[in-house]
Amino acid sequence: MAVSSLLRPFVKPCLPSVVKPEITYCLQLTENYHLEPGTTGGGSAGAGEGENKSEGKSTEGSVEMVHYNFDRVDLICLLLSFIFGLWYILKKHWIANNVFGLSFAIKGIEMLSLNSVTNGCILLGGLFLYDVFWVFGTDVMVTVAKSFDAPIKFIFPMDFLEKGVWGSNFALLGLGDVVLPGIFIALLLRFENSKSVGSRFYFISTCVAYLAGLILTVVVMHVFNAAQPALLYLVPACLGLPLSLAAVKGDLAELFRYEDYPSEDKGKEQAGTKYD
């Protein structure tokens, strides 16, 4: 499903109008249950009816387990994702691996979020130390990354100029090196959207800083011919630049005050103050 979501924006414009993406379908799976008199339903029967003891008569009902809406474009994308999956299983090609890796990374950034810049600084700072220790202090991280045969990393042939797409000397980049800075950059984008000024200054500049940090990682790896912890270069780039720019622009205090979901706590505090 992750690959299907990634392919959809590219596939939809290429399809003829006969496909009619406005026609939608629904996949719905339900679980039926039957409670005899005097018995207690399990958790799968849902809250309420299934958890109460039936008194004097049997109880029947159903619980919705799956509800998924899709259209014909989704079906075509799903077919293409099966082709990518078959290609990866049979050939383990780096392009197929990276398609799956990119899909998982995008889904990870969509599903995970940081509530504040403070939390982002703590998370990235802790992972900075973690990555440095496990790459420079031990060989565990490098050994696992090379031996674990699954699309949990991006791989790029360093001999691409010589062998093209069939290169065999690969450089690795873990999905965490994309997802973790990514959720922080997404937080900066939401911060700018909350200001309603139409600017993407922090978002774009931090994306450029991330790219520069990634290039620096590759350069250092080639110069020293040794594995490098990507977060050693990405964390200073993704934290240092936006915080420095915010300090120069006078937005630093506002940036650290910003929270994605402050309404619940503030609402409770205001309600508590009202009724005290």
Looking at the annotation, which residues are catalytic?
131, 177
pLDDT at residue 122 in the model: 96
Report DSSP letters for 147-208, one per residue.
H--SSSEEEEETTHHHHGGG---EEEEETHHHHHHHHHHHHHHHHHHHHTS---HHHHHHHH
Per domain, the residue ranges of the chain are: 2-75, 92-266
Helix axes 176-195, 201-224, angle to 10 degrees: 160
pLDDT in tens, the chain (276 residues): 788 888 888 888 888 877 766 788 898 889 887 777 766 654 444 444 444 454 556 777 888 888 888 888 888 999 999 998 999 999 888 999 999 999 999 999 999 999 999 999 999 999 999 999 998 988 888 888 878 888 888 998 888 888 888 888 888 899 999 999 999 999 999 999 988 777 899 999 999 999 999 999 988 988 888 888 999 999 999 999 999 999 999 999 999 999 987 655 554 554 454 444
Q: Report pLDDT for 263.
A: 54
Q: Tell me, what's the pLDDT at 56? A: 58
pLDDT of residue 150: 84
Taking Cα atoms as reference points, which of 50, 26, 25, 28 lies closest to residue 40? 50
pLDDT, position 12 = 86
Are 157 and 167 in contact by the 8 Å Cβ rule? The answer is yes
- Please tell me the predicted confidence (pLDDT) of residue 209: 96
Give pTM, 2 decimals: 0.78
Q: How far apart are CA 275 and CA 263, in angstroms?
A: 18
Provide the pLDDT for residue 159: 80
Cα angle value 230/231/233 (rounded, 5°): 75
